[in-house]
Amino acid sequence: MNSTLTPQAVLDRAESLRPKLSSGFRDEIVKSLYAEVERITRRSVKIGPKKKWDFDQKIDRLVTSPVLGLLIMLLILMAVFWVTIVGANVPSGLIADFLFFIEEKAADLFTNIGFPWWVTGFLWHGVFRGLAWVIAVMLPPMAIFFPIFTILEDLGYLPRVAFNLDWLFKRVGAHGKQSLTMAMGFGCNAAGVISARVIDSPRERLIAILTNNFVPCNGRFPTIIMLATVFVAAAFPPLVASFVAAGTVLGVVLVGVFFTLLVSWGLSNTILKGEASAFTLELPPYRRPNIGQILYTSLIDRTIFVLWRAVQVAAPAGAIIWILGNIFVGDLSLAQHVADFLDPLGILIGLDGVILLAYIIAIPANEIVVPTMMMVYMGVGMMTDIPDLGSLRALLVDGHGWTLLTAVNMMLFSLLHNPCATTVLTIYKETKSYKWTILGFVIPLALSFLVTFLVAAIVRLLGGG
């Protein structure tokens, strides 16, 4: 052993040799690695006849062709949404009926045993009802949407969508795969944020995470659909009303896409200017999906995972809602007091205090915005729904002075406002940075206030509202 060979000596020697390396030595290392891989492959892998490739190539030609390719893409996306929304209606109703039946019986039981009213109310009409509501609204669409989405992913079709749409995202400094994280966001923004992992370039991944919220998720869709049906479509004859409603929802989604692109562009040119970036997109061969695997990943990894996080935050929210609705100071409930306090701010942006209150309470889960709003409007002690659209319209327009401006602004606010608590938590887990988490919350919030304020101000200037 040479006694002078200390670790420091080795490091110093390495330091002195480094400048003599040619600039391409990394390329040479990778090249030799690949040469070795090729040598092993030649020895051990037999390549079969080339038939199968041709079939793949034919499909590729078809799904990326200028007219047909885009048409196929649109049809598939629309089919996924239609199946999700229509297919979820019945199970949602069944689950809600079942869980509310349990609530009613359990509350009766508690009353009969002799618990004070506030224990029964807090536990069953507060905590349990909040949970039940979130599960009933959230579970069925997710259980339908995620498996379908995973099948498309497994088939190998989704990377082709990213390939087709990249031109749009390239212009705003983002990655084509952001279209996939956005599509995932329709199911759940938290899942959309997680799915941004497929983007390997740090800057584009952050853009996808921070803008995912501008795609309305399953929890917000019912609100937008309800408003579109009750306020916009109601002004049209019944024959075209459902088309107008669908068109309005589509319009809201497009506004969301517009803001996604706008904010992506803004981010990539300001805050994210110096983050690392590269574009590559692998197009894997088409494969037959493994159904067992899909059911497992989409149910356990996505649905149950997202549901569990939502449940964790929905239970306390249910408790708070019940407390606000049942503690009275003077003649009014706490909820009413808070709503009155928020009213000026709400009016300023074309909404009202009750809507703002509902959005604050609904930070844990957007599903409970409308039931909370109804609770306060009707002055009852628990979250409520009005299934009949006619009486709903009567309550909002005649009872609480809603106009078309209120409805449009609430749609915009619902689309743009801050992400729910689950999504915020997920942003933190994915980025491990307070800075990005705070930005992910503040940017949408500021934008939602700004946009609704401008809409309200200009409509009022023009003499409407």
Partner 1 sequence: MNISIYLLLWLIPLVLLMMGVWFFRSGPGSRWLAGKKINQRQLLEDALKLIFNLQQDGRPPDKFRLAVELKLDLPAVQALIARLEAQELVVAQHGILSLTTEGQRWALQVIRAHRLWERYLADEARMPLEKIHSQANLREHHMTVEEVDSLDAALGYPARDPHGDPIPTAAGVLRDLKDRTPLNEMKPGQRGRITHLEDDTPLAYAQILAEGLYVGQLISVQENNRERVVLSDDSNQFVLAQAIAENVSVHLEAPKKTADPSIIPLGNLPSQLQAEIVHIDDRCQGYTRRRFLDLGLTPGTMIYPELENPFKDPRAYRLRGTLIALRHNQASYIWVRPLSNEIQ
Q: Which residues of this protein are in contact with partner 1, per CB under 8 A?
A: 18-19, 23, 26-27, 30-31, 34, 57, 60-61, 64-67, 69-70, 163-164, 166-167, 170, 176, 200-201, 203, 235, 251, 255, 258, 262, 265-266, 269-270, 273-285, 403-405, 408, 450-451, 454-455, 458-459, 462, 464-465
Least separation in angstroms between CB 37 and partner 1 = 9
Least separation in angstroms between CB 35 and partner 1 = 8
Least separation in angstroms between CB 348 and partner 1 = 16
327: tokens are: 């503690």
Least separation in angstroms between CB 31 and partner 1 = 4
Q: 3-state DSSP call for residue 332?
A: strand
Question: What is d(CA 458, CA 369) in angstroms, rounded to the nearest whole number?
Answer: 26
Q: Of 40 and 113, which CB lies nearer to partner 1 in the complex structure?
A: 40
Q: Of 69 and 419, which CB lies nearer to partner 1 in the complex structure?
A: 69
Q: Of 264 and 422, which CB lies nearer to partner 1 in the complex structure?
A: 264
Least separation in angstroms between CB 362 and partner 1 = 24
Q: Of 146 and 231, which CB lies nearer to partner 1 in the complex structure?
A: 231
DSSP 8-state secondary structure symbol assigned to residue 124: I
Q: Of 376 and 408, which CB lies nearer to partner 1 in the complex structure?
A: 408
Q: Of 379 and 464, which CB lies nearer to partner 1 in the complex structure?
A: 464
Q: Of 284 and 399, which CB lies nearer to partner 1 in the complex structure?
A: 284
List 332's β-bridge partners, or say none: 329
Least separation in angstroms between CB 430 and partner 1 = 19
Q: Of 57 and 89, which CB lies nearer to partner 1 in the complex structure?
A: 57
Least separation in angstroms between CB 26 and partner 1 = 7
Q: Of 272 and 357, which CB lies nearer to partner 1 in the complex structure?
A: 272
Q: Of 117 and 243, which CB lies nearer to partner 1 in the complex structure?
A: 243
Backbone angles phi, psi at 146, to 5 degrees: -65, -45
Residue 140: closest CA among 99, 192, 181, 101: 99
Q: Which long-range contacts (CB under 8 A, 24 or more apart) does 305-308 make?
A: 306/138, 306/142, 306/188, 306/190, 306/191, 306/422, 307/135, 307/138, 307/139, 307/142
Q: What angle do CA 66, 69, 71 make, to 5 degrees?
A: 105
Least separation in angstroms between CB 3 and partner 1 = 26
Question: What is d(CA 136, CA 130) in angstroms, rounded to the nearest whole number?
Answer: 10
209: tokens are: 């995470």
329: enclosing H helix or E strand: strand 328-329
- Determine how many CB atoms are found less than 10 A away from the CB of residue 205: 24
Least separation in angstroms between CB 69 and partner 1 = 6
Question: What is d(CA 234, CA 211) in angstroms, rounded to the nearest whole number?
Answer: 32
Sign of CA dihedral 9, 15, 16, 18: positive
Backbone angles phi, psi at 329, to 5 degrees: -120, 115
Least separation in angstroms between CB 286 and partner 1 = 11
| Residue with the two structure tokens 């031109």 | 167
Least separation in angstroms between CB 166 and partner 1 = 5
Question: What is d(CA 362, CA 458) in angstroms, rounded to the nearest whole number?
Answer: 28
Q: Of 136 and 412, which CB lies nearer to partner 1 in the complex structure?
A: 412
Instruction: Return all residues near 337 (Cβ < 8 A) that are at least 6 apart.
Output: 329
Question: What is d(CA 43, CA 49) in angstroms, rounded to the nearest whole number?
Answer: 17
The beta-strand segments (E) located in 137-272 are none
